[in-house]
Structure 1
Amino acid sequence: MHSNALDLEPHLFASDNPEEIAASLKRSATSSRRRKGTAFQSAMSMLNFYINRAGRNLPKERRATLERAKGKLRQAFGRPPSATMTGSSLIRDIGRFSGDVL
């Protein structure tokens, strides 16, 4: 049995550069022949999976980098920014995830 997961570059999510994370996810998703949805859906799904799997153990700075990578991923695929995750709402939500009130 084979997994339909993307083949990711080693240590991808350790990067502090959201552009690097987004570019790598895009490369992996567009080159994959095992994905079920679009390349964008696969890449965003993998990023969300990593964020959700880390849960409350993810430091707020790390979460902020990964949330910025979502925006960069949308840009890389020519998608509009998320209406719910722009500007101050992103900062407020990151504070909510970490337990801090901003």
Structure 2
Amino acid sequence: MAKQSKAQKDVMERVLHEYKEGELETSAGRKVKSRKQAIAIGLSEAGASNQQTPAENRKRLKQTKARERADESGPTRAQLYEQAKKRDIPGRSKMSKAELAEALKR
């Protein structure tokens, strides 16, 4: 077996933690009940699967890291917009993400 990079180890650790906590879902939205399936999902997301080409593995790891960075950056514009809608902030439809965040602070 090839040695995993730090990024791949981090992804595998996160996926298996989600599985143990019962939060890991398939692409169809069903809970993962099998440890083997959780490992397969983790290897695929980590770009370490032997079922995919090296190019697909690189692409998969890149997508996973981008999604993790997006999750860390806070709420999306759509989420901020929904909050602004509930508070009935005028002009919200033309505001950027930063402007919505600023308006919600007030």
Q: TM-score higher than 0.5 here?
A: no
Which structure ranks higher in relative contact order (CA pairs < 8 Å, sequence separation ≥ 6)? 1
Normalising by structure 1, we get a TM-score of 0.29
Normalising by structure 2, we get a TM-score of 0.28
